Structure 1
Amino acid sequence: MDLDLRKLRYFVAVAEHRHFGRAAEQLYITQPVLSRQIKAMEEELDCTLLVRTTRSVELTAAGKQLHTEAQGILAAVAAAVQRVHDADLGTRRLVVAFSPGLHVSEAIRAFALRHPDVETDVVPARWWEQDAPLRDGRAQVGYLRRPFDDAGLRTVPIGLDPRVACLPAAHPLAGRTELTTADLDGERMLDLPIRRTASLEEKFELIAAGHGIGLVPLSVARSYSRPDLVHLPVTDAPGLETCLVVPADRREKLLRDFLEIATATLRRS
């Protein structure tokens, strides 16, 4: 079957709002029209995507998978349209993907000083598929944190991101200045990569609510700082390598210049 992008956008709106009325308002269509389009999509895919009740809309397993896939598909289509417009206007553009918690703005500013004629943009890389923007064309270069699939990619190591234990401020261990992995024995650990459809904000909300302790990169903990959470160094937990990453077959001078500038800037910072 051919995947209808319009129906896909409709489905994403319902999946994100979990409400047909609010999704219809966002899309500027009526609720009955939206319901018919989603029903048609389920018939075309031959599977149930949503479970509707009088009070809520929940995603089935197939719906959750489609929501994950759809976000990448729609972002890749938008990036392709942008590249077409850039080609028409003769615009040079460099897009940088970045993992949660990592900051590439200083490197981009330094690059812009050398290449003021190049438009720069950024795209977030979801932590369970950090390499995706490089593979689907949304970005030409990434500032990523391992682990990720580096097949077909060229990496430039930048440094290490220490891991810290993120726990509720009321937790008995919260008053310590540092921890070891032995201190965490017997604690319920909330493995962040498990719930792929949830955001980092949701995961930190679970930690704050007492559902477990998270072992997270320090840069992520700092970026999502909140008063009801503390993060403590775990002295014997290995750090995670941070890297600049480009597709192995991309050798343009613009990319080489960015890698040179960003390597120096990020290592210094």
Structure 2
Amino acid sequence: MTDYSRPALNLERIRKFVVVAEELHFGRAAERLHIAQPVLSRQIRALEDELKVRLFARDRRRTELTAAGEQLLADARPLLASAQALRLRVGRAARGQHSFTVGFMPGLIVTAAVRALSDRHPELTVNVVRTSWHDQIEVVHDGRVDVSYIRLPVDQSGLTVRPLLTEPRVAVLPADHRLAGKESIAVADLADEHLLQDPDAVPEWRDIATELRDGTRAQVGAFHAVEEKLEHVASGRGVTVLPLSTATFYTRPDIVHVPVRDIPPNQVCLAWEAGRRSRLIQEFAAIAESC
């Protein structure tokens, strides 16, 4: 039975907690929040009193999260994102806006599905938002999009995820690279290369290359935008592994792509917030599956 006598969590205090947890310094966090440090300290103490736990361990040299603080930080970000998404959707409904927004990753063409939904609902404004590896799920949680075409792997907590298609992954290399011109390569051939992306996007490379033969860590340089990665590839500063459609979309003469034969294909899915029961979402999902 729900206990309605207990006060609801104060989301503004939780937002301030997240900033302190990210900075691990009350002074810097106060500057980010544009409030005085004593005010921030009181807000955090009030949150600790509310939760009846200690969130930070502090001494003169450093501030660290406690186990309770680590747990709150893990839960706080999706909670705040959901609250923001709720505000956006309620605001749109209050203003009478009739729109539907679709997120999509680079290399994915969503025109057919967007046009099909627009044709079925001429009164509906269908918008598109380009996403990246780092925000493809964030835009769903914070309400910027109603649905998003995503590439796995992602954290699927709080999402409904519907598989759409798979496609091969290729290594993108400088045109004069030692592996350029090969019919295909193995992921082990890239083990000592500088990877220009988040290694979580290529776990097969990470498993092989995290520790090199001499015991040093493999080099990783994470760049968010595909265009930025390709500029670094062309300059000979590293390599990247991309889905085939993304690599072919950005074709240029100073880089090449080579199939990687021993890694599984990339899975493309449609994702939306698990709690939503929108008829338009279900309709768009059916269209996306057929396109």
Measured against the shorter chain, the TM-score band is: 0.5 to 0.7
Calculate the aligned-residue CA RMSD, in Å: 3.0
Is residue 232 from structure 1 mapped to residue 258 from structure 2 by the alignment? Answer: yes
Which of 136, 143, 154 is 1:137 aligned to? 143
The alignment status of 1:192 with 2:182, answered yes or no, reads no
- Letter of the structure 1 residue corresponding to residue 197 of structure 2: L
What residue identity is the alignment partner of 2:136?
Answer: Q
**1:164 CA drift (Å):** 0.2
* C-alpha contact (below 8 Å) 1:97/1:142 kept by paired residues: yes
Note the residue ranges of structure 2 that are not aligned, 5 or more in a row: 1-11, 13-29, 38-76, 199-219
Q: Tell me, in whole angstroms, the C-alpha distance in 2 between the residues paired with 1:232 and 1:205.
A: 17
Partner of 1:207: helix, strand, or coil? helix
- For the residues of structure 2 that align with 1:157 and 1:207, how far apart are their CA atoms? 30
Measure the CA separation in 2 of the matches of 1:43 and 1:250: 32
**With structure 2 as the length reference, what TM-score do the two structures score?**
0.60
- Alignment of 1:44 onto 2:49: no
Distance of aligned partners of 1:46 and 1:124 in 2 relative to their CA distance in 1, 3 Å threshold: farther
Distance of aligned partners of 1:42 and 1:250 in 2 relative to their CA distance in 1, 3 Å threshold: closer
Mapped to 2, the partners of 1:168 and 1:142 lie a distance apart of 31
Contact persistence 2:196–2:223 (CA under 8 A) = no
**2:236 is matched by which residue type in structure 1?**
G
* 1:46 Cα deviation from its structure 2 partner: 8.4
1:147 shift after superposition: 1.3
Q: Which residue of 1 aligns with 2:114?
A: 108
The percent identity for this pair of structures is: 38
**Structure 1 residue 158, shift from structure 2 partner:** 0.9
- Conserved in 2, the CA contact under 8 Å of 1:156 and 1:244? yes
Match among 235, 252, 258 for residue 209 of structure 1? 235
Alignment of 1:226-265 (within 5 A): 226-265=252-291
Q: How many residues align?
A: 199
SS in 1 for 2:126: strand
Q: Which has more radius of gyration?
A: 2
Retained in 2: the 8 A contact 1:111–1:262? Answer: no
Question: 1:142 Cα deviation (Å)?
Answer: 0.8
Closer, same or farther: CA 180–258 of 1 in aligned 2, 3 Å: same
Question: Counterpart of 2:162 in 1: which secondary structure?
Answer: strand
Q: CA deviation at 1:84?
A: 3.8
The two structures have a TM-score, normalised by structure 1, of 0.65
